[in-house]
Amino acid sequence: KQEVTQIPAALSVPEGENLVLNCSFTDSAIYNLQWFRQDPGKGLTSLLLIQSSQREQTSGRLNASLDKSSGRSTLYIAASQPGDSATYLCAVRSNDYKLSFGAGTTVTVRA
Amino acid sequence: GAGVSQSPSNKVTEKGKDVELRCDPISGHTALYWYRQSLGQGLEFLIYFQGNSAPDKSGLPSDRFSAERTGGSVSTLTIQRTQQEDSAVYLCASSFLAMSSYNEQFFGPGTRLTVL
């Protein structure tokens, strides 16, 4: 069974600082890994998807890396803004179709 | 449609009543998924549809839970004889293809179910 862990559980930074969010998974046989953002009381917004053959994926201020052999992914958010405050979820798709989620990292960016 | 839609957005029911939750996926998406997000449990997979068939129902918590999909589009998740532990946010997602390495799942806003 795939286990996904996200560290830290919560993070508070001043505006402008770079954010580093960590995700680890136990089974390296994955199809892909997805990072999501969830605002309070809302659904999930897909941020980035990294296929198993990729090492990283970038979108604007977001960059996600994947080291499949060590079971790790890192989401970097550059020059954080108060609007980046949310819970960030990592989800791994193993050799089937369902996503296994971490518990999330709740980010607060202080103005 | 532009995104995955779910209805109702909120549902309050009494213990023992049946409820139906609806999901309308993105047009053209053949795969549809139901997940549940509850306090202390995180996000857990419930069921997956490819077209109208459900190859994997392994995540359904009990036989009180059932789901169907018609016309390869709208799906309904039904919970019979609701219990307080069923209180959670039920999220629906869809994707263009399931068995593909590029399989991005897009989520709806969820239905918040409260069982009194």
* A54-96 per-position pLDDT tens digit: 999 999 999 999 999 999 999 999 999 999 999 999 999 986 6
* Residue, of A74 and B39, whose pLDDT is higher: A74
pLDDT for the residue A98: 85
Best of A25, A32, A34, A44 to disrupt the B interface (most B CBs within 10 Å) is A44
- Note the pLDDT tens digit of each residue in B69-83: 988 899 999 999 999
Q: What is the Cα–Cα distance from A79 to A32, expressed in whole angstroms?
A: 27
DSSP helix/strand/coil, B105 = coil
Residues contacting B63, CB < 8 A, separation 6+? none
Chain-chain contact of B42 with A99 (C-beta, under 8 angstroms): no
Chain-chain contact of A98 with B48 (C-beta, under 8 angstroms): yes
pLDDT for the residue A15: 97
**Is the per-residue pLDDT at B101 higher than 80?**
no
Chain-chain contact of B59 with A98 (C-beta, under 8 angstroms): yes
CA angle B113, B23, B109 (to 5 degrees): 60
The full 3-state SS of chain A, as one line of letters, equals CCCEEEECCEEEEECCCCEEEEEEECCCCEEEEEEEEECCCCCEEEEEEEECCCCEEEECCEEEEEECCCCEEEEEECCCCHHHCEEEEEEEEECCCCEEECCCEEEEEEC
